[in-house]
Amino acid sequence: MTVNNIENEKPEEMNSEDNVEKESKVYEYFEAVDKSIKPRIEEELKILYELCKIDEDLKDIDDEKGDLPDRISEQKVTLDKIWEELDSKTAELAKLKDEEGSLRKTIKKGEDKIAKYDEQKYNAKSNKEYDTIMKSIDTQYETIEKGEKRLKDLSEIEEILSNEIQELRASSDEISADLKSNEDSLQELDEKYSQEELELKNKKEKLTVRLEDHIKKLYERINKTMKGSAVAVVRRGNCSGCFNSIPPQREIEIRSAAKLYTCQSCGRILVDEKLIG
């Protein structure tokens, strides 16, 4: 990871040709801005250090909010799923109830018909007519029997569905209550920190525009993984981020601020402690 004037803190030296090319690129790059590189790099490092402190504060605020924002969005997703399931099961139950209603009507009709045929059979004028009536009665009994069997099945399915709907409603109520309390807590924290966050973000914005574009990108990339600690200070030969030791020669180079260095072990941008006072 080496961008123009950024070099990873690594013990092995590059070959001299590479070095010359790199140095010259760096020099040319900054020459138009400054007559010497050191003040410019030192300035960038100071900005980066300030930026890091702001990101640390922003991270503290995020930590204070904890996993509330994540939990809230997870709960919303879960609730959506529950409601979708509730809708589909409620619709299914309504359909079954409709079927139950029409089955009961069919059974009632069959019973009425049987009662009617029962009277008719005594007035049958022939054996054939009597047989026909008896056959009709049998048909009605079959229909009623089939209907009652289906009603029994329906009642079992309806009971299962009703229980499931009840459980879903209970979960929905429980999660909704928890979500409401999480949203209230987050809102409270948002209100508590909104002003501070705004000020920090404004400060960050002002500092960021002063950085060279590629350094800004480097910082943002490291900050993404280091979450508010993209810059480490070199103290007594160690990186303050990961406590890995830095070779004395490299320490001198970091102090000379001719380039930007990142820690080989943790990847943080390294700043000499004398620079930041």
Q: What size, in residues, is the chain?
A: 277
242 contacts Zn ion (rule: CB under 5 A): yes
Nearer to Zn ion, 9 or 57 (CB): 9
Cα separation, 28 vs 38, whole angstroms: 13
| Phi/psi-derived region of residue 8, left when phi > 0, alpha when psi is between -120 and 50, beta in every other case | beta
263 binds Zn ion (CB under 5 A): yes
Beta bridge partners of 235: 238
The residues, ordered by sequence, that sit 6+ positions from 179 with a Cβ below 8 Å of its Cβ are 72, 75, 76, 79
Name the segment binding Zn ion (CB under 5 A); options: 13-21, 94-102, 197-205, 258-266.
Answer: 258-266
- Range in contact with Zn ion (rule: CB under 5 A) among 138-146, 174-182, 240-248, 250-258: 240-248
147 touching Zn ion, by CB under 5 A: no
Binding mask 54-93 for Zn ion (x = CB under 5 A): ----------------------------------------
Q: Which of 208, 183, 202, 181 is nearest to 58 (CA)?
A: 202
Q: How far is CA 253 from CA 233, 258, 261, in A?
A: 14, 7, 9
**Using an 8 Å Cβ cutoff, are 171 and 82 in contact?**
yes
Picking from 254, 248, 259, the residue whose alpha carbon sits closest to that of residue 271 is: 254
Question: Is residue 239 within the footprint of Zn ion (CB under 5 A)?
Answer: yes
CB of 225 to Zn ion, least distance (A): 12
CB under 5 A: which stretch of 134-142, 168-176, 190-198, 263-271 binds Zn ion? 263-271
The nearest distance, CB 220 to Zn ion, in angstroms, is 18
**Beta carbon nearer to Zn ion, 245 or 256:** 245
Q: By C-beta, is 266 or 271 nearer to Zn ion? A: 266
215 binds Zn ion (CB under 5 A): no
